[in-house]
Amino acid sequence: MGRMFSSWKADCNRFIFNSRFWLSVFCIVAICFLSSSYYIWEGTGGITTVSNILYMTIVFSNSIILLVLFASFPAASSFCSDWNCQYIRCHVSRSGIKGYIGGRILSCITSSFLACFLGILLFVLILLTFFPLANAERDVSLNAIPTLHKLYLISPWLYLIYHIFIISLATATWSVVGLCISAWIPNRFIALLSPFICYYILDTFSLQLPMLINFYHINKGTDILNMGNPWLNLLYIIAIYTVLMALFGCLFGRTVKRRVGNEIT
């Protein structure tokens, strides 16, 4: 566990304090503005507020798929670099194979989550200089998803953070998918595009599935459990994405062990 933590810490320093991470953050901000430009200039069907703009951007644009792509930049292709230059041998000798695998998965999740979270949060903060944060009577999102009104009553910021957290968790999950695929095919281009492609395929396919496993509804914070409790809903969403991260993390670990053991060249 200590080696895993040390590996995670070293990898986080490598990924987060890196120009690629901050480029990813600013690309996410740019995507948010491009996706929401219509709602910023033309309105959202109610009073133009930050919460309305964010909700309409998430629900009625394809921005999430691009967020998945750019949030994966910091770490999804990191195994390719380690493997192709054989830095992995040095890393494994210091932290052990389990420490390397665990640290790399956790750092991939951390860096991708933070890139998306900070990018959307920066987008929100910029919007606040032009628009009010929220309006309880005229917010489109509150009317569309009444369950989230409970969060709004506690704090409009809590309501916004709820949305941002879910999207960031989704991007972190698909970044792990990219990391896993990079272990199978250590090509940086494939590693960076695979989260984008896999998300698009699964999201499109899940539209035909029940709401419990429909990623469109999961990502927009719909009351999936029909219990009227946003916290239980959030726990369910976390569980769904945790299972996916664990599944692809295990596949990544298995492939790395085989590669290091020279079963795969």
Compare 216 and 26 and report the one with higher pLDDT: 26
pLDDT tens digits, one per residue of 26-85: 999 998 888 887 777 765 455 577 887 887 777 666 678 888 888 888 888 788 777 777
Cα–Cα dist 182/41, whole Å: 41
Q: Predicted confidence band at 112 (pLDDT cuts at 50, 70, 90)?
A: very high
Which among 58, 64, 68, 71 is positioned nearest to 22, based on CA atoms?
71
Cα–Cα dist 110/251, whole Å: 19
* pLDDT of 190 over the 60 cut: yes
- For 149, residues 6+ apart whose C-beta sits below 8 A from its C-beta are 136, 142
Cα–Cα dist 236/233, whole Å: 5
DSSP letter string, 135-193: -TTT-HHHHH-GGGHHHHHH-HHHHHHHHHHHHHHHHHHHHHHHHHHHHHS--HHHHHH
Which span out of 37-46, 64-73, 111-120, 210-219 was modeled with the highest average pLDDT? 111-120
52's tokens: 């309305």
Q: What is the mean pLDDT of the chain?
A: 81
CB 135 within 8 A of CB 44: no
Per-residue pLDDT, averaged over 128-138, amounts to: 76
CB 142 within 8 A of CB 194: no
* pLDDT of 103 over the 80 cut: yes
* pLDDT of 263 over the 60 cut: no
Per-residue pLDDT, averaged over 11-38, amounts to: 85
* pLDDT of 183 over the 60 cut: yes
Cα–Cα dist 15/30, whole Å: 21
pLDDT score of 264: 46
54's tokens: 């964010």
pLDDT score of 116: 92
